[in-house]
């Protein structure tokens, strides 16, 4: 296993994300014998970073992670969990967790009660890594509310030694991540973002990565194979990769892409099957990052998988818009939504936008088209995006 230096720690380059443990059926409870086998294989082959969260597996991930990991000496593994502020709301003096749906709300008296519950569920006295979960445009105000005092409280737990290292996970846009890191300069030590060779351009993960590195923080990658999509490619795309490296799995290509990024600390993989663990461990146990030629090939693979509106963000269109819409931002969001056929990845951004900033505010005057060097039919894209928002597909999470 390759290890990366983080302060005085040596962290395994491959981390295990416990959001997608094996289950009994598609959405059933954790299949404990299978899940235990995967976690134990990872640990016994050098993985020492394990990631969980309050909501994962309907609240069972923290319990099971603690159950399995505590059989090993505490100083041989690092556990990361997260404060679920992105799924909390305030009702009077109570904090209400909404992540299990309105039919299963959970009420808490304080931040401390939630944090203490997580320690007990995980069977630990401290978290090696503790993150604000889902710090994004829609959750910023809650996390930043001085009357709630989330960050202040968690920093007090860090001072007390019950949090060793503090960070946040985020699906926010790059400019938002810059805002958070500038406001809270010196507070966070790592940032966990969705990053892979598809989202490098589709979600502008490159800008997010470069922002985090500019602030001198460690990057933890989540969704390296994009929920499995980059592990099982369309036939044309997979054939291109097999022709170049016949013995490599599609997932290996995705991991090697991230391995090539300087400063990438931990690459979290949600290993659902033992075969995933075997392959992932093998890939990140050797120094074999993607080359420039490999990356060029991966871009060709991306081109076969996307049909994006070719906006270059020159912003000429904005000069003529009578509604002052941020058209490049809206097109970027539209491309992402159109690729996924869902709004999950951009939901936080949309919830933070005002009515006048939405694609539905477009009056189809056509002034933007006259100014666009790419001759993009912006009004048509805005109409399609507005229709998507008005009629979203069912959530993949139920």
Q: pLDDT tens across 155-171, in order? A: 999 999 999 999 999 99
At 134-147, the pLDDT tens digits run 999 989 999 999 99
Mean pLDDT of 43-65: 96
Quote the pLDDT of residue 395: 53
Q: Does the pLDDT value for residue 398 go beyond 50?
A: no
Quote the pLDDT of residue 279: 97
The C-alpha angle with vertex 295 and arms to 336 and 269, in degrees rounded to 5, equals: 65
Q: Does the pLDDT value for residue 312 go beyond 80?
A: no
Q: Does the pLDDT value for residue 174 go beyond 90?
A: yes
Give the rounded percent of residues in the chain with a pLDDT score beyond 90.
Answer: 79
pLDDT band per the 50, 70, 90 thresholds, residue 396: very low
pLDDT band per the 50, 70, 90 thresholds, residue 81: very high
Q: Does the pLDDT value for residue 10 go beyond 70?
A: yes
Q: Does the pLDDT value for residue 197 go beyond 90?
A: yes
Give the rounded percent of residues in the chain with a pLDDT score beyond 70.
Answer: 97
pLDDT band per the 50, 70, 90 thresholds, residue 304: confident
Mean pLDDT of 229-233: 90
Which of the two residues, 130 and 234, has the higher pLDDT score?
130
pLDDT band per the 50, 70, 90 thresholds, residue 338: confident
Quote the pLDDT of residue 74: 97
Three state DSSP letters for the chain: CCEEEECCEEEECEEEECCCCCECCCCCCECHHHHHHHHHHHHHCCCCEEECCCCHHHHHHHHHHHHHHCCCCHHHCEEEEEECHHHEEEECCEEEECCCCHHHCEEECCHHHHHHHHHHHHCCCCEEEEEECCCCCCCHHHHHCCCCCHHHHHHHHHHCCCEEEEEEEECCCHHHHHHHHHHCCCCCCEEEEECCCCHHHHCCHHHHHHHHHHCCCEEEEECCCHHHCCCCCCHHHHHHHHHHCCCCCHHHHHHHHHHCCCCEEEEEECCCCHHHHHHHHHHCCCCCCCCHHHHHHHHHHHHHHCCCCCCCCCCHHHHHCCCCCCHHHHHHHHHHHHHHCCCHHHHHHHHCCCHHHCHHHCCCCCHHHHHCCCCCCHHHHHHHHHHHHHCCCCCCCC
Quote the pLDDT of residue 18: 96
Quote the pLDDT of residue 372: 84
pLDDT band per the 50, 70, 90 thresholds, residue 180: very high
Q: Does the pLDDT value for residue 191 go beyond 80?
A: yes
Q: Does the pLDDT value for residue 175 go beyond 50?
A: yes
Quote the pLDDT of residue 342: 67
pLDDT band per the 50, 70, 90 thresholds, residue 397: very low
Mean pLDDT of 240-267: 97
Quote the pLDDT of residue 346: 84
Mean pLDDT of 213-224: 97
Q: To the nearest 10°, the Cα dihedral for 91, 97, 100, 104?
A: -50
Mean pLDDT of 42-47: 98
Quote the pLDDT of residue 319: 80
Q: Does the pLDDT value for residue 314 go beyond 50?
A: yes
Mean pLDDT of 232-249: 94
Q: What is the distance of C-alpha 192 from the center of its chain? A: 6
Quote the pLDDT of residue 394: 62
Quote the pLDDT of residue 244: 97
Mean pLDDT of 249-262: 97
Q: What is the mean pLDDT of the chain?
A: 93
């Amino acid at each position: 296993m390759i290890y990366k230096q983080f302060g005085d720690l040596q962290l395994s380059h491959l981390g295990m994300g416990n959001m997608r443990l094996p289950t009994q059926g598609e959405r059933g409870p954790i299949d404990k014998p299978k899940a235990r086998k995967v976690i134990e294989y990872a640990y016994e082959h050098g993985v020492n970073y394990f990631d969980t969260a309050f909501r994962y597996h309907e609240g069972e991930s923290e319990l099971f992670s603690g159950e399995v990991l505590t059989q090993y000496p505490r100083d041989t593994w690092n556990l990361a969990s997260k404060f679920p502020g992105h799924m909390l709301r305030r009702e009077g003096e109570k904090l209400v967790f909404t992540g299990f749906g309105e039919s299963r709300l959970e009420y808490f008296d304080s931040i401390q009660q939630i944090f203490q519950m997580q320690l007990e569920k995980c069977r630990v006295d401290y978290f090696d890594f503790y993150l604000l979960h889902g710090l994004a445009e829609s959750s910023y105000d809650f996390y930043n509310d001085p009357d709630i005092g989330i960050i202040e409280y968690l920093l007090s737990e860090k001072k007390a030694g019950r949090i060793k290292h503090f960070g946040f996970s985020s699906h926010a846009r790059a400019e938002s991540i810059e805002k958070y890191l500038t406001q809270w300069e010196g507070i966070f030590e790592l940032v966990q973002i969705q990053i892979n060779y598809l989202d490098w351009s589709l979600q502008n993960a490159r800008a997010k990565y470069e922002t985090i590195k500019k602030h001198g923080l460690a990057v933890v990658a989540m969704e390296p194979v994009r929920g499995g999509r980059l592990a099982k490619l369309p036939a044309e795309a997979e054939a291109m990769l097999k022709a170049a490296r016949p013995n490599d799995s599609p997932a290996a290509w995705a991991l090697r892409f991230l391995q090539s990024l300087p400063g990438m600390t931990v690459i979290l993989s949600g290993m659902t099957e033992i075969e995933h663990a075997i392959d992932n461990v093998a890939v990140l146990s050797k120094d074999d990052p993607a080359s420039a030629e490999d990356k060029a090939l991966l871009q060709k693979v991306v081109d076969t998988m996307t049909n994006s509106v070719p906006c270059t963000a020159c912003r000429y269109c904005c000069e003529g818009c009578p509604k002052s819409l941020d058209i490049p931002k809206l097109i970027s969001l539209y491309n992402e939504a159109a690729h996924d056929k869902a709004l999950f990845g951009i939901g936080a951004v949309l919830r933070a936008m005002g009515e006048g900033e939405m694609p539905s505010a477009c009056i189809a005057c056509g002034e933007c088209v006259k100014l666009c060097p790419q001759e993009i039919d912006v009004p048509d894209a805005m109409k399609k995006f507005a229709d998507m928002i008005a009629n979203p597909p069912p959530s993949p999470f139920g």
